Amino acid sequence: MKGFRYYGMVAAFMVAVLALSGCGQQAAQQSEVQVNTYKLAASDAQIPTSFNGTVTAENKTAIHARVSGHVVEKYVKGGEHVTKGQPLYRLDSRQYEANLASAQATAAGSSASYQNALRDLNRYQTLANEDAIARQTVDNQQAVAQEQQAQLQANQAAIQIAQDNLQDTVIYAPFDGTLEMDAIDIGTYVTAGSTTLVTLDSSDPVYVQFSMSESEYLSFMKSHNVTSLDNSTQLQLRLADGTIYPYMGTLVQAAKNLDSGTGNLIMKASFPNPNHLLLPNMYATIVSPGDIIKGAILVPTKAITQVLDKSFVFVVDADGTVKQTPVETGGTQGIYTIVKSGVKPGQDVVVDGLTKVRNDMKVKATELSKSQLESEK
């Protein structure tokens, strides 16, 4: 009886061991998660440098009237795009029309007086030649004619001023651009040369103002192989949504010394803006070609994880075991980040499924080609 009970216990133990073994195998199978990997390779890479900037208008002017008066017509509204010579406002012109009519009437009287003075002068000269009157009379009349001529010229100049003032009651756009939102309303009294009707920003081309540190400036000069900054330097622009602006820009302005407050060099680049996509005060990033790094290891940026201030990648060994590996990163190139140390060519790194893997975990890896990886962008 005791032997039977002994063999029964042994049998039960073996069943339990087999059951536990099966559970372990099942757990091991469940722990092998599916991930995508990418095999690292070394290649030459040019790492662009970037500088934060702000879009500004090439020309920005406050529009003022040359004459005073109340606004009676407003042809535009804030935010509109206008072209050079387009009417913006009209002021009450009645007083200027009256001034012109008065100047014309005064000039007409002056013209008649001058003509009379000339006729008298001619008559006196004839009489003087016949010794009928004294030469002094002729001289006196000549002075009168000259005075009348000067008066006529002054009154004709007053007509021109009155005409100009009347024309200036309509205010035109001095150049192509976009109106800011500070346009005044109808009925506002405008003082000549003082009241701002609206502010006009030129829209094509536009400037992007940015700055670089002293070390960045020296590196920039070295990478472009130039000794002075000029408009031959081609620059790209990355917009706030990460897209690259379709038009290249050129460097057009650079300060001659470093800013005493920040120690940075202030610069401006000019970019075409035919579709008026770039707006003043818009955030943008200047992108400039940088140094070429020989034999750089480009790791997909999405394969890199951050823990505190450290960067890591998950390297998959030949047996499918994941190793969390610290890396030192450099610049970026598209969807890739240059890794200075920590990995080497030929290693496989996890690019998808990072949240499911842990150090020393077994995974089932599917290797992605370069074209497959880049098609996922």
- What CATH number is given to the structural domain containing 75? 2.40.50.100
- Distance, CA of 377 to CA of 369 (rounded, Å): 14
Would you place residue 291 in the very low, low, confident or very high pLDDT band (cuts 50, 70, 90)?
Answer: low
Residues 6+ apart with CB under 8 A from 126: none
Q: Which domain holds residue 77?
A: 67-92+170-197
253 and 144 in a common domain: no
> In 3-state terms, what secondary structure has residue 25?
helix
Q: Between 252 and 331, where is the model more confident?
A: 252
Residues 6+ apart with CB under 8 A from 202: 57, 58, 59, 60, 175, 176, 177
- Distance, CA of 239 to CA of 336 (rounded, Å): 19
355 and 261 in a common domain: no
Q: Between 133 and 186, where is the model more confident?
A: 186
**288, 305, 323 — which closes off a domain?**
288
158 and 72 in a common domain: no
Residues 7-52: tens digit of each pLDDT: 444 444 444 444 444 444 444 444 578 888 898 888 777 667 778 8
Would you place residue 86 in the very low, low, confident or very high pLDDT band (cuts 50, 70, 90)?
Answer: very high
- Distance, CA of 139 to CA of 183 (rounded, Å): 61
pLDDT computed for residue 223 by the predictor? 65
Which pairing describes strands 310-316 and 305-307: parallel, antiparallel, or unpaired? Answer: antiparallel
Q: Which residue pairs from 69-72 have beta carbons closer than 8 angstroms and sit at least 24 positions apart in sequence?
A: 69/93, 69/95, 69/96, 69/169, 69/189, 69/190, 70/187, 70/188, 70/189, 70/190, 71/184, 71/185, 71/186, 71/187, 71/188, 71/189, 71/190, 71/197, 72/186
- Distance, CA of 261 to CA of 263 (rounded, Å): 6
Q: Is 2 inside a domain boundary?
A: no
Q: How many domains does the chain contain in total?
A: 4
- Decide: 350 and 313 in contact? Cβ < 8 Å: yes
The answer, yes or no, to whether residue 344 has pLDDT greater than 70, is: yes
pLDDT computed for residue 31 by the predictor? 52
For the ranges 22-26, 71-75, 180-184, 289-293, the one whose mean pLDDT is highest: 71-75
The arithmetic mean of pLDDT across residues 293-322, rounded, is 86
318 and 243 in a common domain: no
> In 3-state terms, what secondary structure has residue 297?
strand
Q: Cα 256 from chain centroid?
A: 22
| Overall pTM > 0.85 | no
Give rounded-to-5 percent helix, strand, coil for the chain.
Answer: 30, 35, 30
Would you place residue 74 in the very low, low, confident or very high pLDDT band (cuts 50, 70, 90)?
Answer: very high
184 and 81 in a common domain: yes
- Distance, CA of 370 to CA of 145 (rounded, Å): 96
Q: Is 219 inside a domain boundary?
A: yes
Residue 168 sits at φ, ψ, to 5 deg, of -75, -5
pLDDT computed for residue 217 by the predictor? 79
Identity (one letter) of the amino acid at 245? Answer: Y
pLDDT computed for residue 29 by the predictor? 46
Q: Which two tokens stand for residue 272?
A: 């075409």
300 and 188 in a common domain: no
Q: Is the dihedral of CA 102, 103, 108, 113 positive or negative?
A: positive
pLDDT mean across residues, the chain: 81
- Distance, CA of 264 to CA of 348 (rounded, Å): 42
207 and 185 in a common domain: no
Which pairing describes strands 206-212 and 363-368: parallel, antiparallel, or unpaired? Answer: unpaired
- Decide: 322 and 360 in contact? Cβ < 8 Å: yes
- What CATH number is given to the structural domain containing 369? 2.40.420.20
The answer, yes or no, to whether residue 359 has pLDDT greater than 80, is: yes
Q: Is 240 inside a domain boundary?
A: yes
Q: Is 114 inside a domain boundary?
A: yes
> In 3-state terms, what secondary structure has residue 28?
helix
Residues 228-279: tens digit of each pLDDT: 555 567 788 888 888 889 998 888 877 778 777 787 888 888 999 988 888 8
Identity (one letter) of the amino acid at 333? Answer: Q
Least confident of 71-80, 169-178, 209-218, 228-237: 228-237
370 and 300 in a common domain: yes
| Short-list 113, 120, 121, 119, CA closest to 155 | 113
233 and 328 in a common domain: no
Q: Is 10 inside a domain boundary?
A: no
- Distance, CA of 140 to CA of 346 (rounded, Å): 111
Q: Is 7 inside a domain boundary?
A: no
Q: Is 350 inside a domain boundary?
A: yes
Tally Cβ neighbours within 10 Å of residue 163: 15
The answer, yes or no, to whether residue 180 has pLDDT greater than 50, is: yes
Q: Is 122 inside a domain boundary?
A: yes
Least confident of 64-73, 143-152, 228-237, 322-331: 228-237
Q: Between 36 and 334, where is the model more confident?
A: 36
Residue 265 sits at φ, ψ, to 5 deg, of -100, 125
| Short-list 110, 104, 114, CA closest to 159 | 104
pLDDT computed for residue 141 by the predictor? 78
- What CATH number is given to the structural domain containing 211? 2.40.30.170
248 and 351 in a common domain: no
Would you place residue 377 in the very low, low, confident or very high pLDDT band (cuts 50, 70, 90)?
Answer: low
Rg (CA), the chain: 42
297 and 178 in a common domain: no
160 and 149 in a common domain: yes
